[in-house]
Amino acid sequence: MGTNRYKATITLIVSACLFLLSLPFAKGLVGGLIFSAASAALVGGIADWFAVNALFRRPLGISFRTAIIPRNRERIFNDIVDMVENRLLTKEHVKEQIARHNMSVIAIDYLEKSGGRQKIHLIMRNVVEDLLGKVNPNDFGRVVETGAKRYIQSANLAPIVAQTLRWLLEQGYDRRISLFLLDELIRFCQLPYFSNWLQDLIEQSKIAYTAGKSQRKLALWLLDSGGLSTLTMRDTALAALLHYLELLKQPDSYLLKNQRLWLEKLINQLEETPELLEKIAYIKQMLLKQLPVRSLVSEFICRERDRAEHEEGFLVSLLHQLEMQLDVMLKAFKNSEGQQDSLDHLMKRILFSVIDRHHQQLGSLIRENLNTYTNDYFIEFIENKVGDDLQMIRINGSVVGGTVGLILHAVNLVIK
């Protein structure tokens, strides 16, 4: 607010100066015309200055019928809320505007032209970085262990396993998952927990083998004396197991060659074979008792955290795969009118439902925002928007007043 205020003030000053300068010559012809015009312009300018300022504050300290906007603050707010809620943004109008647009086109434009795809990539990357860098491995492992065991306890694993395996086959993830599981199995076998368990198993097997039989005890003593102690047998068995698992990772291994056929067969067995279901139930109980989820998750996070610093590891690879999959899905979506129509109908149905449930809160939201305005801020806001235009009232008051004063004095001279 600036230009018109200065113009109005200068107009008022000029009117006052002309009034004072023409006052000694008020009885003359020209002096009388100038005096009448200047005095009327001065009165009109002052009156309109008072009127404009009375909208916002109390000019000259006069409280009667002044500060109109602050005094009617609540009524103004009520009218604004009513206008927005019941005239501008009615439910019907909002729904009509939404119905005119294709939500799928908007989504595609956002993903391709407004950086939406990059933002989704960034969100996924931030999630991975937060998982690797901010979570406490032990606490997260404890939470996962509690949830996993609770889920295993209550869930029927057979159909879940079957559905998961079928999805993996359909997506072509079976080979990558097999390699990942083999890597994790190798790492698990290298844990002290597994080494101690294998040693206990060998010890128990020895005890069971020699129970009450002197000849077998002698045989074991000879083995121990010959260098085949429990520790040696454990290390030998562990080395053989690790070597075997490494061989399974080779591209020409029978596991990777035949795994798809085996998985399809396993899926059918999970759905049809009662004996296999009983085995799964037994495995379920064993998992609840012995599965070291906490330590596995904790070590997995620590390991992947170190590997992520060099842009490698399972989670980093998974992130790249997700980003590639997102791009493939977007390309397929752009080429499928059926998918676009489905998304358009789904998004509109969701938006219409949200509007029906929450439209009544629109007025409350607007009112809450308006109530945050102090009187001073509210006045300043309105003055910044329309104050400069209101100053034209002052200019017009001086100009019209001066013109009317000039005409009236001229008429008076003619009559005389």
Q: What is the mean pLDDT of each run of 10 residues along the chain (416 residues)?
A: 78 89 84 88 88 84 80 81 75 83 87 82 78 77 80 68 75 74 82 79 65 51 55 80 85 76 74 63 67 77 71 65 79 86 89 82 76 78 78 86 86 80
pLDDT for res 216: 47
For residues 402 and 116, the answer to whether their CB atoms sit within 8 Å is: no
Q: How far does CA 137 lie from the centroid of its chain?
A: 25
CA distance 397 to 44: 5
- What is each CA distance from 189 to 182, 241, 318, 355, in whole angstroms? 10, 8, 24, 56
To the nearest 10 degrees (0 to 180), the angle between helices 361-371 and 73-83 is: 150
Could you write out the DSSP letters of every residue in 43-104?
Answer: HHHHHHHHHHHHHHS-GGG--TT--HHHHTHHHHHHHHHHHIIIIIS-HHHHHHHHHTS-HH
Instruction: Mark residue 103 as left, alpha or beta (left: phi above 0; alpha: psi -120 to 50; beta: remaining).
Output: alpha
Measured from the Cβ of residue 11, the count of other Cβ atoms closer than 10 Å reads 22
- Which of 160, 157, 155, 169 lies closest to 265 in space, CA to CA? 169
For residues 30 and 18, the answer to whether their CB atoms sit within 8 Å is: no
pLDDT for res 267: 73
> 366: number of CA atoms within 13 Å, CB side?
18
Give the tokens for residue 233: 């047998």
CA distance 42 to 63: 23
Give the tokens for residue 291: 């599965």
- What is each CA distance from 104 to 91, 107, 108, 342, 344, in whole angstroms? 22, 5, 6, 9, 5
CA 301, 159, 154: angle at the middle one, nearest 5?
65
pLDDT for res 17: 92
- What is each CA distance from 295 to 129, 152, 228, 307, 314, in whole angstroms? 21, 18, 31, 18, 18
Task: List the chain domain ranges.
Answer: 3-71+373-415
For residues 396 and 52, the answer to whether their CB atoms sit within 8 Å is: no
Those residues whose C-beta lies under 8 Å from the C-beta of residue 29, and which sit 6 or more positions away, are 413
CA distance 12 to 395: 8
Reduce the DSSP state of residue 384 to 3 states and report it.
Answer: helix
Residue with tokens 């010959």: 226
Those residues whose C-beta lies under 8 Å from the C-beta of residue 74, and which sit 6 or more positions away, are none
> 289: number of CA atoms within 13 Å, CB side?
6
CA distance 216 to 254: 38
CA distance 191 to 242: 12
Give the tokens for residue 273: 């074979």
Written as one letter, the residue type at 283 is I
- Which of 397, 378, 415, 407 lies closest to 46 in space, CA to CA? 397
Q: What is the dihedral of CA 152, 153, 157, 161, to 10 degrees?
A: 0
CA distance 106 to 129: 30
**Which long-range CB contacts under 8 A does 113-122 form with residues at least 24 apart?**
117/326, 117/327, 117/330, 120/326, 121/323, 121/326
pLDDT for res 125: 78
CA distance 199 to 56: 89
* pTM listed for this prediction: 0.41
Give the tokens for residue 398: 């001086």
To the nearest 10 degrees (0 to 180), the angle between helices 293-308 and 314-334 is: 80
